Amino acid sequence: MKLVKVANQVSIKRSVEVGTKEQRDTVKNIIKNVRARKQEAVMAYTKQFDGVLLESLLVSSQEIEAAYREMDPNMITVIQEAAQNIRSYHEQQRQTSWMMTEQNGTILGQKITPLSSVGIYIPGGTASYPSSVLMNAIPAQIAGVRRIVMVSPPDQNGKLPASVLVAASEVGIKEIYKVGGAQAIASLAYGIEGIKPVDKIVGPGNIFVALAKREVFGDVDIDMIAGPSEIVVLADESAQVNEVAADLLSQAEHDERSSSILVTPSESFAHKIAAEVKKQIADLPRKDIVEKSIRNFGRIYVTRTMDEAIEVVNELAPEHLEIMTEQPVEILGRIKHAGAIFIGRFSSEPVGDYFAGTNHVLPTNGTARFSSPLSIDDFQKKSSVVIYSEVAFRKHAHKIAAFARLEGLEAHARAIEERMK
């Protein structure tokens, strides 16, 4: 890992998924065709990209039952327990509609309404991501979204992974379609025979999915376009070298472009971590990815003091922050920007990725400066409510009309004055 003594220059190497011109054109073309020829186009793309000619996109109850039989029962229990933890945490995020009443009869309020329908994209390919199903679906459910649809690309046998189907079934998703890529995003945004359009699309995906989400944004809402994942560990000599190194490596296995960063005021600790990272890499199954990620994006920032280290963390605004210092809890109040903050030795990032209950969909690329973890806020919207009383109106009408005229909007002023006639 590259060791950097900090003066002023710190950064997470940003990389945003804008794709090549060819990829963007491909995506635009797929969306156009799906809008024009609907299911016919989707079936053709599924044959082309996923290598399977499906009879039906909808996952049947038989397929769900088969998935349960296929799964290790212990893993089903783990998924259920994780789902329960995620539910408990996100239930705390509930907000309620409120109103303020005035003596003169006026009522002002804020009404909270769930989104009507949401689509969740779950990537396919070689891996399966049941945890993503839980993390995206449960907040939508708690927010009160009535219709939650899941889409995921089928394998060459026309199947979805058992773990993904079980996770979806555990959180009560009824509508699951075997469709992936830009054609899935287009189907969700504009509808095809058998799939009604949704109001928002969430969930991770490859470059084609990311570009398609960008393309349909505005017609429907989307969640963030996630960049590569990052971890920053803030640690001093009280931390366990093997644990810090292992946490850095767990981030690096996601993607060659993932960033694993240590910030520490101890140069000797920094050297120990660098050596331990090297040692642990040796027998990791995803060694190639990990090595590239560590070489290109791995950093150890050595600062003069802990105060300076905290400043560096705030500059980085990481997606994941682990604090493993002598007094980690005392540092929490000084963290300005981070998607998720893991405090102390036993709060290893995978605890939050899978099980503790917090969401693993987090702002990447330094956007923790202004963005939040996925939450039930993403699945509700607010309306302001004005019930203005006659007493209030008669008292303030002339001021409102004057304000409108100050801005040159005469028809606004007259709308008020028509009521004074």
Q: Which residues are catalytic?
A: 319-320
Nearest distance in Å: CB 101, a second copy: 12
Q: Which residues inside 288-347 make contact with a second copy, applying CB under 8 A?
A: 290, 329, 332, 335-347
Cβ-contact 400, 416 below 8 angstroms: yes
Instruction: Please give the size of the binding site for a second copy, defined by CB under 8 A.
Output: 120
User: Is 360 annotated as a binding-site member?
Assistant: no
88 binds a second copy (CB under 8 A): yes
Cβ-contact 216, 31 below 8 angstroms: yes
265 binds a second copy (CB under 8 A): no
Cβ-contact 184, 150 below 8 angstroms: no
Residues β-bridged to residue 175? 149
Q: Which residues inside 114-133 make contact with a second copy, applying CB under 8 A?
A: 115-116, 126-131
230 binds a second copy (CB under 8 A): no
279 binds a second copy (CB under 8 A): no
Residue of the chain from 111, 271, 278, 304 that contacts a second copy (CB under 8 A): 111
Helices (H) and strands (E) in the chain, counts: 15, 14
CA-based nearest residue to 294, from 353, 387, 342, 231: 231
- Look up residue 67 and give its two tokens: 């998935």
Helix or strand or coil: residue 322? strand
User: Is 255 annotated as a binding-site member?
Assistant: no
Nearest distance in Å: CB 72, a second copy: 8
Residue of the chain from 243, 256, 267, 308 that contacts a second copy (CB under 8 A): 243
User: Is 229 annotated as a binding-site member?
Assistant: yes
Q: Which residues inside 195-224 make contact with a second copy, applying CB under 8 A?
A: 199-200, 218, 220-221
Residue 408's identity, in one-letter code, is G
191/195 Cα distance (integer angstroms)? 5
CA-based nearest residue to 16, from 181, 148, 214, 189: 214
Residue of the chain from 24, 28, 159, 396 that contacts a second copy (CB under 8 A): 396
- Specify the residue for token string 């050596």: 275
354 binds a second copy (CB under 8 A): yes
82/355 Cα distance (integer angstroms)? 5
355 binds a second copy (CB under 8 A): yes
Per-residue contact string for residues 18-57; x = within reach of a second copy by CB under 8 A: ----------------------------------------
Instruction: Please state, as a whole number, how many other Cβ atoms lie within 10 Å of the Cβ of residue 219.
Output: 11
Annotated binding site: 121, 183, 206, 229, 251, 254, 320, 353, 407, 412
